[in-house]
């Protein structure tokens, strides 16, 4: 089946993106598409360029070559903030919340520049934080602080949500709660790009997976196909496939 | 009853502290919310003072027109500076703004046809004419006597504090608080961080300029020595640091300490710089949240101890 003859342009896309830091090439010729309403996973070993790609897609970093496309055309300016106001929100790898504000105030602040009016209470409810409205963000347990990070991004009423390792450091119930929340977000029609180390977590949450290794895309397919891919298994799981074992 | 002389000096002291508190509260916007160490206050204070002295002393403008013109000129100038300056961060920002205050001082000294040069300029017109300082007229009200200026200075400070606390509860103020907390996170939820920082700088500069207009009329005479870097750019920062960053009361308490010290140490005026230098050092090392921070932490500790006493 051809993937190039799409009827409508994908909502958000990276086209031949290259990012170099001095002599180091973090991304090279990376193309990735996030169609409206899709849920895409982005996996790869440490240093594969996942965060760099999220930074480029969210406008936090400018590619040294290639471009970001929004609704099929390059935006006039693609910076963090401007991208959010167009409809691309992101979370951060490290827990990042407005620590000196209550949980509810956090979401209200995040909703100040939302593209349409949102109900902060409803968002907190969807992330199982409804009992925490008046807790100071700095005092939240780790798992809930991570979910508040997702709530902040959601409060901007995005069309695409870039989740940068939201499950990092989470276990058990917290990870389950996050997984449920992400599936809920997708079901609500928001396109999601989910970066995570936990392969099982990603595979269970998305309907397409892109695999990065050494700054290049080595696979882009359904979770089942990607999981069976020898190169992916070799790169991601640290196992060398067959003859490449030496 | 208070002896007239003592009363006069008290009126003078409170007026002086109030005007400096206006400067510190206005400057605190940039330092506290945009998170940038601005040393540009000297330039805008001088701008307001010289526009004020010229307009009242030489052009005979009504005070309201002077205030409006000073505000507009300051806003345009600050906007121009803000467009360039927020590309710089940290130390570079501090250096650039310091440069602005130094250049302003140089302009005052050298552009003598307009500023009176090193000799200064009076709100009462040309010095040779020996005119009395001109009043600051706000519509039907003329601010003229020492008591008038006391009311004006305290009133302006009150309006500033009230106005800013209202503003901080509005959308724009909430955005500024978000930037203060974490500017990357603020940007990620759609706040236009650069533009908001520019807006903060412009507002702060306009308010400092207006403080300058008031200052010039109160003193009745402006000269370069009032706008040296140490006095007009460094001291307001010292006020904020000593009083405490991040609170409304901080800059006001700091202004009381820094502007009040020279008056209290009048016999040893040269030592006052030394005293507040030591004070600044002590605050930075012992109480990084300033006097107000020290007091609130202390009060909280006392309250905890009292509660523990009740419980046992």
Q: B176 with B33: CB under 8 angstroms?
A: yes
Please tell me the pTM assigned to this model: 0.86
Cβ–Cβ contact B308 with A under 8 A: no
Residue B20 has pLDDT above 90, yes or no: yes
According to the model, what pLDDT value does residue A7 have?
55
Q: Which residues from B are below 8 Å from A109, CB to CB?
A: 174-175, 177-178, 186, 189
Which of A79, A89, A98 comes nearest B178 by C-beta? A98
pLDDT average, residue stretch A145-153: 94
**Which residues of A make CB contacts under 8 Å with B?**
58, 60, 79-82, 84-85, 89-90, 92, 96-101, 108-114, 152-153, 155-156
A109/B184 CB distance under 8 A: no
Cβ contacts of A156 on chain B, cutoff 8 Å: 189-190
B272 occurs within a structural domain: no
Number of structural domains found in chain B: 1
Subunit contact B189:A101, Cβ cutoff 8 A = no
Q: Is B192 on the interface with A (CB under 8 A)?
A: yes
Domain span at B10: 4-228
pLDDT digits (tens, 9 = 90+) for B89-126: 778 889 999 999 999 999 999 998 888 888 888 888 77
Chain A residues inside the 8 Å CB shell of B186:
109
B87 occurs within a structural domain = yes
Compute the count of residue pairs across chains A and B with CB atoms less than 8 Å apart.
Answer: 69
B265 part of a folded domain: no
**Cβ <8 Å between A155 and B192:** no
Domain assignment present for B298: no
The whole-angstrom distance between B87's CA and the closest CA on chain A is 15
B245 touches chain A (CB under 8 A): no
In a domain, B256, yes or no: no
* Percent of chain B scoring above 70 in pLDDT: 95
Please indicate, yes or no, if residue B220 is contained in any of the structural domains.
yes
Is B177 part of any domain?
A: yes
- Output the pLDDT for position A6: 46
* pLDDT tens digits for range B247-277: 889 999 999 988 888 777 767 667 767 777 7
Query: Residue A191: which of A69, A7, A39, A9 has the closest Cα?
Result: A39
In a domain, B168, yes or no: yes
């Amino acid at each position: 089946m051809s993937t190039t003859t799409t009827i409508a342009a994908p909502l958000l896309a990276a086209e031949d993106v290259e990012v170099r830091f001095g002599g180091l090439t973090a991304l090279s010729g990376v193309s990735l598409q996030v169609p409206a309403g899709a849920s895409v996973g982005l996996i790869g070993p440490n240093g594969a360029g996942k965060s760099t790609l999220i930074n480029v897609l969210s406008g936090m970093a400018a590619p040294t070559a290639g471009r970001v496309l929004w609704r099929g055309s390059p935006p006039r300016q693609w910076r963090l903030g401007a991208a959010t106001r167009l409809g691309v929100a992101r979370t951060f790898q490290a827990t990042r919340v407005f620590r000196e504000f209550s949980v509810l105030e956090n979401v209200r602040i995040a909703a100040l520049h939302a593209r349409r009016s949102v109900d902060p209470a409803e968002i907190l409810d969807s992330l199982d934080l409804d009992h925490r409205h008046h807790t100071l963000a700095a005092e939240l347990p780790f798992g809930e602080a991570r979910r508040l990070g997702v709530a902040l991004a959601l409060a901007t009423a995005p069309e695409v949500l870039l989740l940068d390792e939201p499950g990092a450091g989470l276990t058990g119930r917290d990870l389950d709660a996050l997984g449920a929340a992400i599936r809920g977000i997708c079901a609500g029609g928001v396109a999601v790009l989910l970066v995570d180390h936990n392969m099982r977590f990603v595979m269970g949450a998305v309907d397409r997976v892109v695999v990065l290794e050494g700054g290049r895309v080595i696979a882009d397919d359904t979770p089942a196909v990607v999981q069976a891919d020898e190169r992916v298994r070799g790169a991601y799981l640290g196992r060398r496939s067959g003859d490449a074992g030496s | 009853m208070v002896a007239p002389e003592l009363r006069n000096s008290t009126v003078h002291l409170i007026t002086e502290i109030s005007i400096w508190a206006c400067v510190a509260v206005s400057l605190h916007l940039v330092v506290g919310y945009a998170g940038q160490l601005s040393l540009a206050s000297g330039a805008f204070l001088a701008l307001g003072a010289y526009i004020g002295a010229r307009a009242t002393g030489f052009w005979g403008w009504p005070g309201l027109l002077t205030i409006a013109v000073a505000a507009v000129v300051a806003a345009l100038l600050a906007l121009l500076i803000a467009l360039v300056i927020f590309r710089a961060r940290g130390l570079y920002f501090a250096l650039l703004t310091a440069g602005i205050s130094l250049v302003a001082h140089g302009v005052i000294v050298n552009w003598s046809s307009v500023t009176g040069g090193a000799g200064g300029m009076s709100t009462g017109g040309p010095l040779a004419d020996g005119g009395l300082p001109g009043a600051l007229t706000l519509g039907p009200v003329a601010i003229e006597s020492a008591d008038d200026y006391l009311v004006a200075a305290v009133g302006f400070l009150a309006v500033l504090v009230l106005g800013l606390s209202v503003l901080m509860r509005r959308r724009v103020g909430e955005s500024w608080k978000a930037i203060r907390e974490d500017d990357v996170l603020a940007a990620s939820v759609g706040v236009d961080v650069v533009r908001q920082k520019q807006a903060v700088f412009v507002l702060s500069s306009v308010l400092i300029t207006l403080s300058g207009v008031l200052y010039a009329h109160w003193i009745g005479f402006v000269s370069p020595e009032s706008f040296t870097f140490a006095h007009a750019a460094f001291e307001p920062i010292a006020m904020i640091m000593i009083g405490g960053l991040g609170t409304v009361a901080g800059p006001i308490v700091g202004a009381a300490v820094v502007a009040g010290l020279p008056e209290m140490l009048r016999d040893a005026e040269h030592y006052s710089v030394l005293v507040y230098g030591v004070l600044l050092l002590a605050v930075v090392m012992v109480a990084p949240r300033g006097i107000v921070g020290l007091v609130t932490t202390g009060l909280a500790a006392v309250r905890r101890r009292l509660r523990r006493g009740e419980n046992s």
